[in-house]
């Protein structure tokens, strides 16, 4: 069996392109439709009700493109809205929390795991619950890093101010001697160099993008929905505002040209 329908991915902005990059590696034949809600980023400062409303609208947009599976690439939306989305829509929907938790649990050496994310993701306790479900003995330490998303959206990856902000945010986690750090927002992997510098080489940085792509492959394979035709998938990118800005910053995530981004109407 073969199913050429696309996979839908949404995020609050450009951060979900880290998932797209891993999908290119692990599911290169799959067609993708990406929606970045750039008009309403960031999600991490908003209420559960508002994030859920936005998330439902985002999935409805993707469903208009006849997607066969939806990936909620936004950690905030995954932590606050995933269960509701699964009840509302018939297509398989996967988030980024549990895959990231599983990977962190599999690599930690001292059972001390740090999590950085938006205020909403950290306050939800979603990562702690997922990690403790795997092993109650693990110690989990969290830190909200609300300024990271606007810094990434602005393209200020290599600025001194970004390094200064990272030093302040990460200091409490360094004191806790975590050996594994979950990047609990899809925007954060682009700051990997800054995070590595401030946490030290001995700390393993976890972004859930690879595990999410693997989970998508497993679900599609088990359901007979993999795309077996063609050699390379086709991608469509949509945003709710400022396509040109999305292209400029998005190319840093994918490390390749983005030829066309359309504004969703």
State how far the Cα of 53 lies from the Cα of 143, in Å rounded to an integer: 26
Question: Residue 75 pLDDT more than 80?
Answer: yes
> Residue 34: pLDDT band by 50, 70, 90 thresholds?
very high
pLDDT tens across 222-237, in order? 999 999 877 789 999 9
Q: Report which of 4, 20, 17 is spatially closest to residue 220, judged by C-alpha positions.
A: 4
Q: What is the pTM of this model?
A: 0.90
Predicted local confidence at residue 38, as pLDDT: 94
Cα 44 to chain centroid distance, Å, stands at: 13
Question: Residue 198 pLDDT more than 80?
Answer: yes
Spot the catalytic one: 88, 145, 185, 260. Answer: 185
Strands lying side by side in the sheet with 69-72: 93-94, 69-72, 7-11, 32-36, 235-239, 261-263
185 labelled catalytic: yes
pLDDT tens across 88-145, in order? 999 999 999 999 999 999 999 999 999 999 999 999 999 999 999 999 999 999 999 9
* Contacts (Cβ under 8 Å, ≥6 apart) of 123: 144
88 labelled catalytic: no
Percent of the chain with pLDDT over 90: 84
List the domains of the chain with CATH numbers.
7-95+209-263 (3.40.50.1860), 97-206 (3.40.50.1860)
Predicted local confidence at residue 243, as pLDDT: 94
Spot the catalytic one: 74, 88, 145, 260. Answer: 74
């Amino acid at each position: 069996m073969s199913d050429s329908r696309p996979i839908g991915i949404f995020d609050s902005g450009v951060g979900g392109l880290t998932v797209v990059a891993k999908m290119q590696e692990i599911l290169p034949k799959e067609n993708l439709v990406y929606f970045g809600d750039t008009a309403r980023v960031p999600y991490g400062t908003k209420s559960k009700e508002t994030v859920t409303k936005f998330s439902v609208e985002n999935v409805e947009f993707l469903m208009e493109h006849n997607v066969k599976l939806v990936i909620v690439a936004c950690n905030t939306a995954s932590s606050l809205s995933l269960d509701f989305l699964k009840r509302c829509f018939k297509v398989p929907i996967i988030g980024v929390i549990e895959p990231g938790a599983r990977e962190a649990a599999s690599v930690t050496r001292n059972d001390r795991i740090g999590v950085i994310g938006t205020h909403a993701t950290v306050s939800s306790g979603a990562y702690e619950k997922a990690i403790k479900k795997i092993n109650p003995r693990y110690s989990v330490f969290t830190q909200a890093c609300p300024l990271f998303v606007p810094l990434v959206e602005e393209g200020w990856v290599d600025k001194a101010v970004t390094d200064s902000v990272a030093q302040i945010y990460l200091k409490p986690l360094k004191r806790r001697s975590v050996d594994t750090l979950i990047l609990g927002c899809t925007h954060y992997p682009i700051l990997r160099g800054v995070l590595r510098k401030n946490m030290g080489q001995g700390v393993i940085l976890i972004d859930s993008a690879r595990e999410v792509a693997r989970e998508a492959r497993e679900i599609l394979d088990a359901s007979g929905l993999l795309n077996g035709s063609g050699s390379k998938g086709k991608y469509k990118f949509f945003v709710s505002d400022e396509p040109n800005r999305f292209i400029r910053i998005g190319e840093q995530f994918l490390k390749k040209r983005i030829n066309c981004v359309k504004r969703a109407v």
